[in-house]
Amino acid sequence: MSKLVTIYGGSGFVGRYVARRMAKAGWRVRVAVRRPNEAMFVRPYGVVGQVEPVLCNIRDDASVAAAMAGADAVVNCVGILSESGANTFDAVQDEGAGRVARLARAAGVAHLVHLSAIGADPEAESEYGRTKAAGEAAVLAHFPGAVILRPSIIFGPEDEFFNRFAGMTRMGPFLPVVASQTKFQPVYVDDVAQAAVMGAEGAAAPGIYELGGPEVLTFRQMMERMLQVIHRRRVLVPVPGFVASILAFCFDMLQAVTLGLVSNPVVTRDQLKSLGRDNVATGQAPGLEALGIQPTSLESVLPDYLWRFRPSGQYDAIKDSARNLRKAD
């Protein structure tokens, strides 16, 4: 019988790529999520019955243990960028990570992969960074042989970064940029998934890996690359720190008074703190190259999914070609 892997958060941005790769490698895949009915799209990743969404709440021991029953490997992709209700940073990224590791050890799971972030730091100003670091510590305390992946900002067709800002360019001639000089090392989602699969299969040595792409770019430079891809001219407007703080506070309060019915659509106060520091590999931990993975560039992927934000969408290239013909005449 083929081996079984449980992927917590397996229908999320990164998790779905891990699930697809594990299924392609012949594993049975159990996708543990809070809403299995919204994760049915993962089932075609394998043959009938090979990939199965199951109900799981990472805040509950019994739920996590049931999803893990019989698994040979576990991958935890659960993480949040902002808090909502009971899903706080502590509950999900610290306690939840420790719970998965503790129960994996008790169940005799052979390999555990934990998805963290380059911003993980017990001294971080943001609660996001502190709880990511606490989660790593909890994982290693219970499962010393775990593989921990720390990616920089992740890009890909379903990302909430380039898609979000590309959508904002439709609203007017200006594009506000917060923390324009903060540096990032954008990494392709499938490269991260490949690293996770190597950890789940035991092909990666235990320890911490910092995953970054081939380039280090400032926030502003990433926006400039995006604008080039979507063929739009927009004025990039740096947002002063105090203005960003006021906006973040107002939107956080709006989310609070509406009990989450209206989510913060711009930036939270905690995210603003994270944006205050560079998000690049330190060089003190191995990266994609150590796993034999060639980092994928932005240029080779962005046009594949941002074309829909061009003025004429998929027909933009045809219009450019026709315009060149008229010039030649």
Region 274-302 average pLDDT: 95
Residue 163 within any structural domain of the chain = no
Neighbours of 78 (CB within 10 A): 25
> Residue 147's domain spans which residues?
4-156+186-212+279-295
Distance from C-alpha of 82 to C-alpha of 268, rounded to nearest angstrom: 7
Confidence of residue 18 (pLDDT cuts 50, 70, 90): very high
Q: Which of 27, 24, 53 is nearest to 40 (CA)?
A: 53
Q: Which residues does residue 138 pair with via DSSP β-bridges, in sequence order?
A: none
Residue 309 within any structural domain of the chain = no
Residue 64 burial by CB count (10 A; 0-12/13-18/19+): exposed, middle or buried? buried
Q: Number of structural domains, the chain?
A: 1
Give the pairing of strands 217-218 and 183-184. antiparallel
Region 230-242 average pLDDT: 93
* pLDDT at site 197: 98
Residue 171 within any structural domain of the chain = no
Residue 272 within any structural domain of the chain = no
Residue 69 within any structural domain of the chain = yes
Q: Which of 201, 226, 191 is nearest to 310 (CA)?
A: 226
8-state DSSP, 324: H
Residue 128 within any structural domain of the chain = yes
Residue 235 within any structural domain of the chain = no
Residue 323 within any structural domain of the chain = no
Confidence of residue 93 (pLDDT cuts 50, 70, 90): very high
CATH number reported for the structural domain that contains residue 68 in this entry = 3.40.50.720
Specify the DSSP element, H or E, that contains 160: none
pTM beyond 0.75, yes or no: yes
Average pLDDT taken over every residue of the chain: 93
Q: Considering Cα of 185, then 141, then 143, then 202, what sign does the dihedral take?
A: positive
* pLDDT at site 258: 81
Q: Considering Cα of 92, then 284, then 105, then 114, what sign does the dihedral take?
A: positive
Q: DSSP string of 48-78?
A: TTTEEEEE--TT-HHHHHHHHTT-SEEEE--
